[in-house]
A and B are shown apart, each in its own frame.
Chain A
Amino acid sequence: MGKQITVPFGPQHPVLPEPIHLDLVLEDETVVDAIPSIGYVHRGLEKLVEKREYPEYIYVAERICGICSYIHSNTYAECIEQIMHIEIPERAQYLRTIWSEYSRLHSHLLWLGLFADGMGFESVFMNAWRLREHILDDMEATTGGRVIQGVCKVGGVRKDIAPEKLDEMLKGLKNLEHELHDLTDVFLNDASVIHRLKGAGVLKTEDAYYLGAVGPTARGSGVPIDIRQTGYAAYGKINFKPVVESSGDSYARCAVRAKELYTSIDIIEQCIKKIPDGPVDVKVTGAPDGEFFARAEQPRGEVVHYIKGNGKKNLVRHRVRTPTFTNIPPLVTLLKGCQLADVPIVVLSIDPCIGCAER
């Protein structure tokens, strides 16, 4: 047994888009412990809820994260609607589902690109982001924003999509699917990728369950948890199966995300075929009085929004539990026993989004 030394990892590191600090305790080249610390990008957005009226706060809620932005606003709106007993039109529910899946596609493509970059595959990174551009263009054409859509509101959605545009989107996604096969083929079947990822950072099924892993981190370890199956928005009317892998290493987490791209395209296709005509929003009057927990599946896992109102325009409490925050304890377990050279890959494999985690 060698002498233990501590190596700081982050908050500034080439593989980290956002700041998280890890103190890695090493014995020779093997990590024996990792002590995470966060708090570099705290913005106090939850406190801001006392100063803004609840319909305007949705724009703030959306800006909790720059990648899963749309799903934050969707969950917030759903929370308020449940407290105020608002039934939103069916077309709005389908549109919310379509945009949720679009943002999942764009987040997963972003992550696949970053992951390839983390492994050293610069050209695959460029290719993933080139394909992501198509998704962003569709989002901008339908909502007005590339990553911050601002299209969800309490009582429905702000914009409708014309039927011709829906057909065009479907056609575009079908073309994209062919190109995606080329991309995901690299992540799933390339020998050097498999050599780099297989066996790096293994999370056992029971560990994933007891440490509260969510999203692709849990599904990569064989825990079939997908909050979309609870049927919020229009997910209850859509047929789909969560993607589950059993090996629990970095390769499994990567494979879950790569295969979820096709699930998302399939869900959007079903939505576009089933979407009914009708209005997209209802008028909302009054203010929420009560409390509610709303859950939704973000690209990174389950997000929980808790809202408490007292019948006034300003809410009393807004609490968000984001997927990255929940995935930090599994990350610490993942790091124990892995090699120092594997740390960047293992940290990236849970898709950390620190802006979300600290709010």
Chain B
Amino acid sequence: MTYFQNAKTIVKSLFSRPSTLMYPAKPAKKMALSRGHVTIDPAKCITCRSCQRKCPAQAIVVDVKEKTWEIDRFRCIICASCVEVCPTKCLAMDPQYPESTTARGGIYKVTVAGPKKKEPAPDAAAKPAEKKE
């Protein structure tokens, strides 16, 4: 009987598609809740530094004077505690993994809007400029 049981598995395997994907040519199979990498909306960040304090891996550095927000993708353990603590909801969790980089390419730095002033300053504040190092 064992032979027939094996035959069942063999036939199933012959006529089914491969269960692997050609990642990264095809994006990985992800759910809505999956934790891939942290993204930031620079226009909403008020440089409150809550994310920096809550990060267990110390991957996030927020510079209040320079108005920059920086994450080291190789230090980040993708626990999403920064996303939960962010008061303006400018941090979000993207379900896809970050792109592969070289050993020095893990640092991702953006210039952010900074704290809101009482007088509206239309163009000075909201200038999100991205640069990758």
Contacts and interface: CB of A to CB of B under 8 A. Distances in A.
Interface string B68-82: 000000000111110
A28 interface: no
B57 to A, nearest CB: 8
A144 B54 contact: no
Given A127-B9, A133-B19, A59 B35 contact: no
Number of chain B interface residues as a range: 20 to 34
Interface string A52-72: 100011011001000000000
A140 B34 contact: yes
B33 interface: yes
Contacts of A299: none
B35 A145 contact: yes
A130 to B, nearest CB: 7
Interface in B37-52: none
Nearest to A126: B13
A194 to B, nearest CB: 13
A144 B33 CA distance: 5
Main secondary structure of the interface of A (DSSP, over half): helix
A63 B77 contact: yes
B106 interface: no
B31 interface: yes
Given A127-B9, A133-B19, A182-B5, A59 B33 contact: no
Contacts of B32: 141
A59 B77 contact: yes
A56 B81 contact: yes
Interface in B50-102: 54-56, 77-81, 84, 93
A144 B34 contact: yes
B72 to A, nearest CB: 16
A218 to B, nearest CB: 33
B80 A57 contact: no
A143 interface: yes
Contacts of B19: 130, 133
Contacts of B79: 59, 150
A323 to B, nearest CB: 24
A33 to B, nearest CB: 40
Interface in B1-47: 2, 5, 9, 19, 30-35
A145 B78 CA distance: 9
Contacts of B93: 144
Contacts of A150: 35, 78-80
Contacts of B81: 56, 59
Contacts of A140: 30-31, 33-34
10 contacts: A52-B56, A56-B81, A140-B33, A144-B31, A144-B35, A144-B80, A145-B35, A150-B80, A158-B84, A159-B33
Interface of B: 2, 5, 9, 19, 30-35, 54-56, 77-81, 84, 93
Given A144-B35, A159-B33, 8 more contacts: A59-B81, A60-B56, A63-B77, A127-B9, A130-B19, A140-B34, A144-B33, A145-B35
Interface of A: 52, 56-57, 59-60, 63, 123, 127, 130, 133, 137, 140-145, 148, 150, 158-159, 182, 190
